[in-house]
Amino acid sequence: SNCIGLVKLMGRHCGFIALEATLAARYVDVVLLPEMRISLPKVLNYIHHLMSTKRHAVIVVAEGCGDTLIESSGVDAGGNKKLADVGPWLRDQIYAYLRKMHHPVTIRYIDPTYMIRAVPANTNDSIYCT
């Protein structure tokens, strides 16, 4: 126990994928979407509450949350605003907060962006996408 699973999913401007994955999984404790106003102190406090009561948590964050939580670092070659990598940043914020609260924790960070694109399509995807 005392473990957090932190998953960053695609969604530069929209949290649709993160929200639908959360609903499909049915065991996600916290989902952060770019469409939401996120209060980091409230999120961290809630995570601390989860760790104190359940001793484990699953957190899903859409990559677009980096736009609202972290300062931007310019534009990319295509002229798009560069998004800070919210996953490792959020992991570090959670570690620091829980350490300050004297609550040791292990965080498993997963960014399946390339894994998703690297597997063959299943039967349904093959039928609907061709």
Domain region containing 87: 3-129
84-106 pLDDT tens trace: 899 999 999 999 999 999 999 99
Tens of pLDDT, residues 10-31: 988 899 999 999 999 999 999 9
Is there a contact between 42 and 14 (Cβ–Cβ < 8 Å)?
Answer: no
Class of residue 56 by CB neighbours under 10 A (exposed 0-12, middle 13-18, buried 19+): middle
pLDDT value at residue 66: 85
In terms of residues, how long is the chain? Answer: 130
Count the neighbouring beta carbons within 10 Å of the beta carbon of residue 13: 12
Residue 34 and residue 15 in contact, taking contact as beta carbons nearer than 8 Å: yes
pTM of the model: 0.85
CATH of the domain at 121: 3.40.50.460
Structural domain count of the chain: 1
